[in-house]
Structure 1
């Protein structure tokens, strides 16, 4: 069979959707069949399979759940960039950090992808907290994609990904290197040491106890249905300290779920 002609049937699509929903809460709505097929084709090619029938049987016998992990990897969207949604970082620098005198501060980026959000946060903390190296300040960065976490831990970015970073930040917080014939930029150790990267499925029990001063959970809930959003928001509330802040994506306000947060401004909430 020509792989390009491999078809994903409605039954197979529904089964994949159910598996993905149960695994990580992503709601693959009707109409996403072409997208799911396109993304799963990557797995068929990697496994040298010719049909989705073959792949579904392989999933059924995936006793160590390794393929399920790969499947979630290709299903998740990992669009990000440095200082994305800058209004949030401006608010953090202007309205939160100047009024936080505690020696201990904890931040969580709850869907860190390839690390740009977490490193943006680390750079801004170093810029805005003059005595940061004498304080206990750490960032937890988690994601469900092992592939993205590997990229984040390497902390190496091509020229196109750092193009919009202010030149002063690029000079101060990145080491320029050669990778083949291309220039790449690696985050310096003084920022990297602030961040602990870890694998986490937001649907699972969470090992960390908090409390966090600030949680970034941005552009995650758009993939969840309302009951899943509701459960997640309640759990985030529990992990924030009183007065702590939650940042969500600008397309994700909390108006669709019931919550105890105080609305501060678009996509910013306070406990």
Structure 2
């Protein structure tokens, strides 16, 4: 996830109804903002009123709803839970790519993997390895993690009990990620040897696509999860990627999530954040070891 593009108009500004397909009043914005915060922990700044309108107007057309009163009523209804995923997806930009912020994956391969080998490699015939992609969007991040692990460990990975958990609040993104099928052009960011090894080309609906190989998919479990609700996993994790997710939470939400990450990470385990995120003033459970890379303190 990455930040949605802000707009300049506030909810108190004139509605400019003549230019709008649907009337959109301050009470609509405040209701949607309140519900999004209550159910997903996402804080909508007041200046994002035009962004909210433009993205949800498309949703009203898809649902054949007459106005925002009807949409707010849907969110409050028994079927509203099914709409929350669409709401989150509409109001956040699921911008992701393979090997995005590549310095994180260099650090994973050159520093984290050797540390894991040193700590756990001699423990048993099947030493345990756990990583988590929290806010995995359409799946490129966990597949990138899997490629890095498979390349760094080589054939040795077969003797490890290695699993990657990938979660997102949006069930539609989880479905996309689980399929592992993407437009062919997104493969350009994958290093050639890894692209040749872990993906194959196909045509789907007349378009060139790539699909992730099954051996890589088997390393990953995709699950829907709201980071501000109960976490069923027990850990511990060797590393957690949570990039461009915390920017959507208020301070209390960020603190809650980071404290839970600290609880589930191994001492010395790594937390990777997005390029505009920081733990400054949020937690003293970590030390920074690189750009948006943190280690959990003992």
Structure-2-length-normalised TM-score: 0.87
1:253–1:64 distance in 2 versus 1, CA, 3 Å: closer
What 5-or-longer segments of structure 2 have no aligned partner?
1-16, 121-126
Give the distance between the partners of 2:79 and 2:141, measured in 1 at CA. 34
Structure 1 residue 85, shift from structure 2 partner: 0.5
What's the counterpart of residue 43 of structure 2? 27
Aligned to 1:232: 257
Q: State the partner residue of 1:121.
A: 145
Measure, in 2, the Cα distance between the counterparts of 1:127 and 1:169.
8
Corresponding residue for residue 232 of structure 2: 207
Q: C-alpha displacement at 1:163, in angstroms?
A: 1.7
Aligned-partner Cα distance in 1 for 2:235–2:19: 48
| Contact 2:116-2:238 within 8 A present in 1 as well | no
Paired residues, what number? Answer: 271
2:47 alignment partner, SS class: coil
Partner of 2:246: 221
Q: Structure 1 residue 49 and structure 2 residue 57: aligned?
A: no
The alignment yields a C-alpha RMSD, in angstroms, of 1.7
Whole-Å separation in 2 of the counterparts to 1:119 and 1:54: 39
**Structure 1: which 5+ runs fail to align?**
none
Aligned residue number for residue 87 of structure 1: 103
Residue-by-residue CA offset, 1:16-64 (whole Å, 9 max, x unaligned): 1000001111110010111111121122112101211222223233356
Matches within 5 A, 1:101-180: 101=117, 102=120, 103-130=127-154, 131-180=156-205
Mapped contact 1:234–1:259 kept (Cα < 8 A): no
Which piece of structure 1 moves more, 203-212 or 175-184? 175-184
**1:229–1:257 Cα contact (<8 Å) kept:** yes
Query: Partner of 1:162: helix, strand, or coil?
Result: helix
**Does structure 1 residue 181 correspond to structure 2 residue 206?**
yes
Q: Which residue is 1:14 aligned to?
A: 30
Higher mean C-alpha deviation, range 15-24 or range 247-256: 247-256
Q: Deviation per CA, 1:196-245, whole angstroms, max 9, x where unpaired?
A: 00000001010000000000011111111111111111111000011111
> Are positions 1:73 and 2:89 aligned together?
yes
Contact 1:211/1:240, CA 8 A, preserved across alignment: yes
Greater alpha carbon shift after TM alignment, 97-106 vs 52-61? 52-61
